[in-house]
Amino acid sequence: MNKTYNPNKADWFELLKRPTQTLENIENTVNEIFNDVQRQGDKAILKYTEMFDGVKLEGMIVSSEEIENASNSVSEELKQAIQFAKQNIETFHIAQKTKRVSVETSKGIDCWQEKRPIQKVGLYIPGGTAPLFSTVLMLTVPANIAGCKEIVLCSPPNKEGKIANEILYTAQLCGVTKIIKVGGIQAIAGLTFGTETLPQVYKIFGPGNQYVTVAKQLATKYGVAIDMPAGPSELLVVADDTANASYVASDLLSQAEHGADSQVILVSTSRQLMDAVSSEVEKQIKLLPRIEMSQKAIDNSKLIYVENHDIALDMINEYAPEHFIICTENEDFYVDNIANAGSVFIGNYTPESAGDYASGTNHTLPTNGFSKAYSGVNLDSFTKSITFQKITKEGILNIGNTIELMAEAEGLQAHKNAVTLRLKDLISEKSGTSNLKIK
């Protein structure tokens, strides 16, 4: 593991760089596939599925028979675990519901805001080296609580043209309306444009590799919203002498095994702990079945020593981690002052794995520093806020002159006239004259 001691602030940017590919190369590929899918629909999607996933599909929609067979193949023990996690995730997301916000801003002027579900959403569930059925829970549960009518799930097929049994079981458990065997850039393109098989959606959710992340960003160019830029997973742990080195190492490895492009960082005020964590990582990684992939991520990992917690906090806020674990004596210092993080895990007994699976919080989070401006997926991600207003005669009399003055100052005469006409009618009504007499 790469150790750095007391780095200068001027060097933080280079030190904390994510291990990503050149964006231009990715964008060219994504643009090419998007254009192809827009022109040729299903034909293009099937072509790229064969090219990238190594399977020639007869059809892309998962049948009810496939779902039933998959569900029967999942052990009862795992089903119970999934249902327990689902219950916790539902509890946390139901608690996020808000009532209508209503206020009389001035006499006769009522304004209110109500939430409405996004009608059609597309959920991207990564397959690849680890079929993330937990992500199905994280996306479908809030979508259903919000009241989304059409929930379309896309996930890449394996060499046999199938989606993992656990993904299919969880999808049907959570009320997905359509499951499609498509992954990668072509899935995002299909959800963006709509094809003979894939419906066009209003918003796309879900994590993915760098190609999927860029594809989602390109989708916004065509009027489709996305949850956030969510690429390769990352974790930053801050720890001092009170931390358990074995636990910290296990947390770093839990993120490293996501993929070779995952990034894990330890920031510590203790040189001794850093050395102990490094030794624990070397010991624990040898026992992992995904050792080769984990080792590539660990080779790019950082162990950074800083002299005090103030410096550590500044560095962490600059990095803006997706996952942030606090293992320090004064944990409140970080809890109270962290400004940029996707999700925070506090104390020696709060592993990041809990948030990935079953504690109740959502694990679809902003990466690559985007937690400086983006939130992780939550109930509001699946809704829109619509504002309403109703103005009475008294209300328009109270506010009318203000609108007229402002509209005239901006040179928007039609805006002013829309108020002036109403005011004239009300004034004439008060004086007993009709609108026809007003010139």
Determine whether 65 is an active site residue.
Answer: no
Choice among 166, 280, 322, 352 that is catalytic: 322
> Is 323 annotated in the active site?
yes
Of residues 234, 280, 309, 323, which has the active-site annotation?
323
Handedness of CA 168, 171, 173, 175 (dihedral sign): negative
Q: In angstroms, rounded to a whole number, what is the distance separating the alpha carbons of residues 23 and 285?
A: 31
Q: Quickly tell me which residue has 């590539």 as its tokens.
A: 296
- Contact between residue 187 and residue 124 where contact means Cβ atoms under 8 Å apart: yes
Q: Is 233 annotated as a binding residue?
A: yes
| 255 belongs to an annotated ligand binding site | yes
Beta bridge partners of 239: 268, 327
User: Which residues make Cβ contacts (< 8 Å) with residue 184, sequence separation at least 6?
Assistant: 48, 52, 53, 156, 208, 211, 212, 215
Q: What is the 3-state secondary structure (H, E, C) of 139-204?
A: HHHHHHHHCCCEEEEECCCCCCCCCCHHHHHHHHHCCCCEEECCCHHHHHHHHHHCCCCCCCCCEE
80 assigned binding-site residue: no
Judge whether 309 is annotated as a binding position.
no
Whether 241 has a binding-site annotation, put simply, is no
Question: Any known ligand binding at 209?
Answer: yes
Tokens of 401: 């002159």
Taking alpha carbons only, the member of 360, 378, 380, 310 closest to residue 338 is: 310
Residue 148: CA atoms inside 13 Å, Cβ hemisphere, count? 31
- Is 144 marked as binding a ligand? no
**Per the annotation, where are the binding residues?**
124, 186, 209, 233, 255, 258, 323, 356, 410, 415
Q: Catalytic amino acids?
A: 322-323
**Per the annotation, where are the binding residues for NAD(+)?**
124, 186, 209
**Per the annotation, where are the binding residues for substrate?**
233, 255, 258, 323, 356, 410, 415
**Per the annotation, where are the binding residues for Zn(2+)?**
255, 258, 356, 415
